[in-house]
Amino acid sequence: MKRKILISTGGSGGHVIPAITIYNHLKNTYETLITSDLRGLTYLDKNYNTVVINTPKLNNFFLLPFSLIKILFLTVKSFFILNKNNISILISTGGYMSLPLCIAAKILGIKIFLIEPNMVLGRANKFFLNFSRKLICYSKNLINLPYGVNQKLTIIKPLIRKEYYESNTHLKKNDIFTIIIIGGSQGAKIFDELLNKSFVSIAKDVSLKIIHQTSDKNINYLRNFYSQNNIESKVFSFDHNLNEILKQGDLCITRAGASSLAELSILNIPFIAIPLPSSKDNHQYENAKYYKDQDCCWIIDQNSFDDQKFEKFLLELINKPNDFMIKKNNLQKLNYQNSWNNVNQKILKIIDEN
Q: Per residue in 198-234, pLDDT tens?
A: 999 999 999 999 999 988 888 899 999 999 999 999 9
b/e burial code for range 152-175 (CB count within 10 A of at least 16 → b)? bebeebbbbbebbbebbeeeeeee
| pLDDT at residue 57, as a whole number | 86
Q: Do residues 124 and 173 both lie within one domain?
A: no
Q: Do residues 115 and 217 both lie within one domain?
A: no
Which residues have a Cβ under 8 Å from the Cβ of 160 and sit 6 or more positions away?
21, 259, 262, 263, 266, 343
From residue 118, alpha-carbon distances to 73, 153, 202, 276 in Å are: 30, 14, 34, 14
Q: Do residues 209 and 123 both lie within one domain?
A: no
The CATH number linked to 58 is: 3.40.50.2000
Q: Do residues 191 and 105 both lie within one domain?
A: no
Count Cβ atoms within 10 A of the Cβ of residue 278 and give its class: 0-12 exposed, 13-18 middle, 19 or more buried: exposed
Q: Do residues 271 and 347 both lie within one domain?
A: no
Q: Residue 47 is part of which domain span?
A: 4-157+338-352
Which parts of the chain register pLDDT below 50?
Answer: 185-186
Residue 260: HSE in the Cβ half-sphere, 13 Å Cα cutoff: 25
Q: Do residues 89 and 192 both lie within one domain?
A: no
What distance in Å separates the CA atoms of residue 347 and residue 92, rounded to the nearest whole number? 14
If one counts the domains in the chain, the total is 2
Q: Do residues 124 and 178 both lie within one domain?
A: no
Count Cβ atoms within 10 A of the Cβ of residue 319 and give its class: 0-12 exposed, 13-18 middle, 19 or more buried: exposed
Q: Do residues 92 and 239 both lie within one domain?
A: no
Which residues have a Cβ under 8 Å from the Cβ of 262 and sit 6 or more positions away?
117, 138, 158, 159, 160
Q: Do residues 292 and 178 both lie within one domain?
A: yes
Q: Do residues 182 and 254 both lie within one domain?
A: yes
Q: Do residues 142 and 217 both lie within one domain?
A: no
| pLDDT at residue 184, as a whole number | 60
What distance in Å separates the CA atoms of residue 347 and residue 156, rounded to the nearest whole number? 8
**Which amino acid belongs to residue 157?**
K
What distance in Å separates the CA atoms of residue 117 and residue 98, rounded to the nearest whole number? 15
| pLDDT at residue 172, as a whole number | 59
Task: Report the Cα–Cα distance between both ends of the chain, in Å, rounded.
Answer: 17
Q: Do residues 189 and 328 both lie within one domain?
A: yes
Q: Is 217 helix (H, G, I), strand (E, B) or coil?
A: helix
| pLDDT at residue 47, as a whole number | 81
